[in-house]
Structures are given as structure tokens and as C-alpha cells.
Chain A
């Protein structure tokens, strides 16, 4: 497990910075809720009647007039997008950095084998993302407690579980990219995360793209859908397809890395 711990250690600072930034912004927005005062209630009605835009952001189902609704519509978006970007960049760097920094010779001369190298790196990736979400959840719960209004814990846990899985899925796709590349594909990773987010928004706005929404992991990690108790079967479809994509990307990573010429 030495490689696992080393990867965790090497990426810990970056993870902490991301978690404190994303979690901190979420906390800050929660604490700002009271200062918005009565204007939120007025805005709630306006936002709920903005047609496709309201549907895309889930404002037609959840009211931002409550702290929970405000969290589900506004704040969760920051966490989902921030987490997806962090997951993508983390996944993209883990394997390709060895060839980019020429450290693959040091690592691959050790009696580990490629499958173990990849398994320990992926383990570190999942652990780091879990800690990232743990820190964010702690900060968000602190914000709710400070405001004196806790969210429905079942929905809250479901959303964060789904958001964590979404980050892992996007990160795993970028992990596969990292196996394929000889240099860290950071630009491509950020592009993938943003593209999948935009795709989710588009699918919610354009009815013709309704079925395509399952291709993006943001479809099952939408807080407004979860907090409004949306269609369960659709959500399960999204999760199922996400698990398939994750498994396929991970499997391909192992197959490709085992055969790859390292240079």
C-alpha cells in the first residue's frame, strides 16, 4: 500500500485547497441566505416562472424561498461543478505524470506490476475524492447548523452520495485519458467536466435531448431532482448507466496500461 499512501500524501495539499475553496464558497453562500432576506421570496416566484431556464436549474420544482431549496438549486451547483473539475484534474494527472516526469522508470522497476500500480493509484484517487466530499459536507452541515435549519438528511445524503459518484465517474474517464497520454491532459479533463455539465443543462432545456441526458453523470446528481423527490426510476437509470461507464473506463484503463509501452 506504499504507493497508495504516497499518492494520497502527494495530492493531499491540492485536495485540501480545492475542498476548502469549494466547501468554503458553499458555506459562505449558505451564511449569506439570511442577508438576502425577503427579496428571496420575491425572487422565488420570478425564478419559478422562467420557463425552460427554471426547468434547467430545477427552480420549478424546488423553491429557493427555503434554505433547503436555496441549497438544492443554487449551492449544490457549485459543489457539483467544483467537485467534477477537481475529480477530472486529479484523475487526469495520476498516471500521465509518471511519463511526463520520467518517474515511470523508477516506479516500474519496482516489484509491483502494472495492475497493482494502477489499482493503488485508483484507490488513492477514490480516497482523495471521498475526503474532498467529506470536508465539503462538514462545511455545508456547519452552515445549515449555523442557520438553525437542517436539511432532510435522507435527501441530503442521497445527493452527496450521487455527487461523489458523479465526480468519481468523470474522474475515471479522465483516469483512462491519463493512461492513454504521455503528458497530463489537464485541458482535456477540464473540457470533459464542463462539457458534461453543459450537456446536462442543454438536455433539461431542449425536450428533444431528453434521452441523451443519461449520458452525463450530472443527470443523477442534480440536487433539485433529489430534494423534490423526482422520478426514482429515471434516477436509477442514470446511476446504472453511470456505473457502467465508470466500470468500462476503469476496465479499459487496466487493459491499456498493461500493454502500454512506457517511454
Chain B
């Protein structure tokens, strides 16, 4: 069963582009990375999913319930959401915000909230107006996870968090994911998507250009683009598909997109000391879709 589904979802803001014809499904238990630069439409898609903005056309489903339907509100009790900008009521204390979020859900989350606050080192006595972005993000994480949701939607969750907190945060996510929680992670930090996500959707100018596993994207896509490093050879092989050539001392590096047998044939007879062939990084895949 799909935890989240968008079918031809479109949203425009007057003449401005929002998202166009997005069709996407996130399976239960998956950790899905939603990639795209600023303004690509990530937050718009998420807000459509949560019913905060209404789509111009298309359908959206969350945990089996159609967004905007009468009983959709009940589904939100099984969903955690962490917005990209963690804004709360400035005069409230962090601890009060966390309790208030639990009360709005009609749940007693005290035990879990306490544990999360300990792990993330949240200072519950400080007022929201006194907290930095990173500390407000931590409060937001606790609010999104304290009720043990079946699905969590995270919009750029790590911006503002220090590396130690990022690590602690992803450990919490992985722990919950092992218990069955689905995770939808919107980000433009490719390293965290590559490290933690199983599937990735790449958004460009409001359109979904690619959905695949991280593994497939980096291994089989781009018509087998490979990074080649050859030691002992100074001349670039005279075959098609070679780009980004660079030469340092004894090593020649370039990108190669083509049949490997053609490259090996071109290198025959040359004094190759060493040959390194590597897959492109997710960054390179991402850039490929953006160029």
C-alpha cells in the first residue's frame, strides 16, 4: 500500500508556476527523498498533500485517504509534519509548545516527548523567541515525532542543525523507520538523501523529472556515465563520449559515457599503470538532470 500518492497534481499561483502534473507514489515503510533546488516546488507539493493549499487539478492521497475529503482530518493524527521554517508562538516556552501539540492531537505523548527532548537536547524552559533556528527545528522535530506517526513529512529538516544533531536526528528517523514509519524527506542536501533514502524523486521547475532508487540513479542511469582515472597514459583515447578531461602529473581523468569495450579497445597497446572506474555521485546525477 502507498503511504502517499500524488496523481497529476497541479498547482499554479496566478501566472506563476507552482507544480505541474506530478505523479508520485511513496510506499509504506519507505524513506523517500524529494530533491530539488529552491523554488522547484517541493514545499508546494507538501502543502498540497497536507491540504494547506488546494490543487488546481489532480488528486492526492495520504495513508489511503483523499486529501480534502471529509475524514481526511483524522488521517493527520497519524502524520507528523516538520515545516522548513520552524515557526511557533514567540511568547510560549518550548516545553509548552510540545505539550500544546500533543493536546491538539488529543494524545498523551509525555513519555516520548521527554525521550526525544533528551536525545535532541531541547531546552524546554526557554521561550520560543529566545531560540535559534536550530533549536526551533529541534522543537519542531519533537512535535512531529512525539505521537509516533505512521508517516512523517520533513521539509528541509536539517537546515540549521549542527552535524551532531543531524546525526542524532537521522538515528531517530532510522529507528522509527525500522518500526514501520514512512518518511518523506524534502531536501537539497544530496549527501543526506544518498545516505538515508531508498527512493528519490527529482523535481525541476515544478515538474517531476525522475523517480528511482538511489542505487539505480547512480549506477544505471545517465547511459552508464563513469568517472575514469588512468595512470601512466598522457594521451586522451580517441573515442566518442569523453568529457570533462583533466590531467595531473601521471594521472588522466575524464568522464566517459559509452560502451566499456570501446574504451578498453582504445587503451590497448598503451602503458596503463592503473585504471580506476567509478560510478557518478548523486550530485552528478542531480546536475545532469538540471543541465
Taking Cβ atoms with an 8 Å cutoff, the residues of A that contact B are 2-3, 6, 10, 101-113, 259, 261-263
Q: Which residues of B contact A103 (CB under 8 A)?
A: 87-89
A110–B89 touching, CB < 8 Å: no
CB distance from B247 to the nearest CB of A (A): 51
CB distance from A92 to the nearest CB of B (A): 18
A111-B52 contact given A6-B100, A102-B87, A106-B143, CB 8 Å threshold: no
B90–A101 touching, CB < 8 Å: yes
B79–A109 touching, CB < 8 Å: yes
Residue of A nearest to B78 (CB): A111
B101–A105 touching, CB < 8 Å: no
- Report B57-90 CB contacts with A as 1/0, cut-off 8 Å: 0000000000000000111110101010101111
Q: Which residues of A contact B101 (CB under 8 A)?
A: 106, 110
A111–B83 touching, CB < 8 Å: no
With the chains together, A103 CA to B128 CA distance in Å? Answer: 12
A105–B87 touching, CB < 8 Å: yes
Judge whether B105 is part of the interface by a CB distance below 8 angstroms: yes
A112–B104 touching, CB < 8 Å: yes
* Sampled A-B contacts (28; CB under 8 Å): A6-B100, A10-B89, A10-B91, A101-B87, A101-B89, A101-B90, A102-B83, A103-B88, A103-B89, A105-B81, A105-B83, A106-B83, A107-B104, A108-B51, A108-B52, A109-B50, A109-B76, A109-B79, A109-B83, A110-B76, A110-B104, A111-B77, A111-B105, A112-B73, A259-B54, A261-B52, A262-B47, A263-B53
Q: Which residues of A contact B47 (CB under 8 A)?
A: 262-263
With the chains together, A109 CA to B86 CA distance in Å? Answer: 13
Judge whether B103 is part of the interface by a CB distance below 8 angstroms: yes
CB distance from A228 to the nearest CB of B (A): 46
CB distance from A4 to the nearest CB of B (A): 11
Q: Which residues of A contact B77 (CB under 8 A)?
A: 111
CB distance from A261 to the nearest CB of B (A): 4
- Report B112-143 CB contacts with A as 1/0, cut-off 8 Å: 00000000000000000000000000000001
Q: Which residues of A contact B76 (CB under 8 A)?
A: 109-111
With the chains together, A107 CA to B103 CA distance in Å? Answer: 12
A2-B53 contact given A102-B85, A103-B88, A111-B77, CB 8 Å threshold: no
Q: Which residues of B contact A109 (CB under 8 A)?
A: 50, 76, 79, 81, 83
CB distance from A169 to the nearest CB of B (A): 28
A2-B104 contact given A10-B91, A101-B87, A110-B76, CB 8 Å threshold: yes
Contact of A261 among B53, B81, B143 (CB under 8 A): B53
Q: Which residues of B contact A6 (CB under 8 A)?
A: 100
CB distance from A215 to the nearest CB of B (A): 34
Q: Which residues of A contact B143 (CB under 8 A)?
A: 106
20 additional A-B residue pairs with CB within 8 Å, beyond A105-B85, A109-B83, A110-B76:
A2-B103, A101-B87, A101-B90, A102-B83, A103-B88, A103-B89, A104-B52, A105-B52, A105-B87, A106-B87, A106-B88, A106-B101, A108-B50, A108-B52, A109-B50, A109-B81, A111-B77, A111-B104, A262-B47, A263-B47
Q: Which residues of A contact B103 (CB under 8 A)?
A: 2
8 A Cβ contacts from B155-193 to A? none
Q: Which residues of A contact B54 (CB under 8 A)?
A: 259, 261
With the chains together, A106 CA to B136 CA distance in Å? Answer: 12
Q: Which among B52, B74, B76 has the highest number of chain A CB atoms within 10 Å?
A: B52
